[in-house]
Amino acid sequence: MSNKQRGLLAVFILILSTTIISACTQSLSSAPAATPTVIPPELFVSPYPSVENPMELIEEFAKQTAVAQTTVANGGTPQAIVEGTVITTPQDGTVVSPTVGTPSTPTNAVPTTPAAVVSTPSGPTATPVPAGVRPSSYTLQNGEFPYCIARRFNVDPDALLSASGLTSPDLYYSGLTLTIPQSGTFPGARMLATHPTTYTVSSSDETIYSIACKFGDIDPATIASANNIASSAKLTTGQQLQIP
Residues in CB range of 218: below 8 A, 6 or more apart: 152, 195, 212, 243, 244
CA distances to 171, 194, 215, 237 from 209, rounded to whole Å, are: 18, 17, 10, 16
Q: Poorest-confidence range of 21-30, 155-164, 224-233?
A: 21-30
What span, in angstroms and rounded, lies between the C-alpha atoms of 112 and 88? 36
23 pLDDT more than 90: no
Residues in CB range of 144: below 8 A, 6 or more apart: 174, 209, 210, 213
Q: What integer pLDDT is reported at residue 22 of this predicted model? A: 54
pLDDT, tens digit (0-9, with 9 covering 90-100), for 208-235: 999 999 999 999 999 999 999 999 999 9
Q: What integer pLDDT is reported at residue 229 of this predicted model? A: 98
What span, in angstroms and rounded, lies between the C-alpha atoms of 156 and 152? 11
54 pLDDT more than 90: no
36 pLDDT more than 80: no
Q: What integer pLDDT is reported at residue 1 of this predicted model? A: 60
pLDDT, tens digit (0-9, with 9 covering 90-100), for 106-133: 445 444 544 433 333 344 345 566 666 8
Buried b or exposed e, range 55-72, using 16+ CB within 10 angstroms: eeeeeeeeeeeeeeeeee
